[in-house]
A = this chain, B = another copy of it.
Amino acid sequence: MATEIEHKYLVTDYSYQSMATESHEIVQGYISRESGRTVRVRTVDNTAFLTIKGACKGMSRPEFEYNIPIDDARQLLKLCPGPVITKTRSIVIYEGERWEIDTFHGQLEGLVTAELEVPNENHTFNLPPFVGREVTGDHRFANSQLTTYDALKPAL
């Protein structure tokens, strides 16, 4: 088990694109979306993962992640009752920190978020220029809760 502590922000401009050092295509869905026990299936390029996340305690969340065969993942995505999310993940290294910028596609086209995983809740860092409002802990922006960009507009 790992513990995930991360900050999440909305992204306000596209300057991150020229700063990105790598990018990956992600497809993901949720076998279970229940708060405190989400079960996520994700493909990242040609690899795949099954991830279970427990309940948040403050900013921390227990996370269990397992590498699985990609053919299994493609079958498991068909079991997911809700929408399957597609997004491009760009990696930007800013002042030594590894930011993950997710550009959503399909029904969520228009949504771009930036996340930074930190080693502890007191860790300090500077914000890159493309980062806007912080939405850490706002469950409307949890990937497990996302449906369409239109449904998200009141939260933007």
Taking beta carbons and an 8 Å cutoff, which residues of A are in contact with B? Answer: 1, 31-32, 34, 36-37, 39, 50, 52, 54-55, 62, 64, 66, 68, 71-72, 75-76, 79-81
Please determine whether B36 and A79 come into contact, CB atoms closer than 8 angstroms.
yes
Choose among B1, B34, B37, B76 the residue that contacts A52 (Cβ–Cβ < 8 A): B76
Q: Which residues of B contact A81 (CB under 8 A)?
A: 34, 37
Q: Is the CB of A34 within 8 A of B32?
A: yes
- Nearest-CB distance from A79 to chain B (Å)? 5
Q: A1-B71, A32-B32 are in contact. Are A66 and B37 (CB under 8 A)?
A: no
Complex Cα gap A71–B39 (Å)? 18
Set B34, B37, B54, B66: member contacting A50, Cβ < 8 A: B66
Please measure, in the bound complex, the distance between the C-alpha atom of A80 and the C-alpha atom of B75, giving whole angstroms: 24
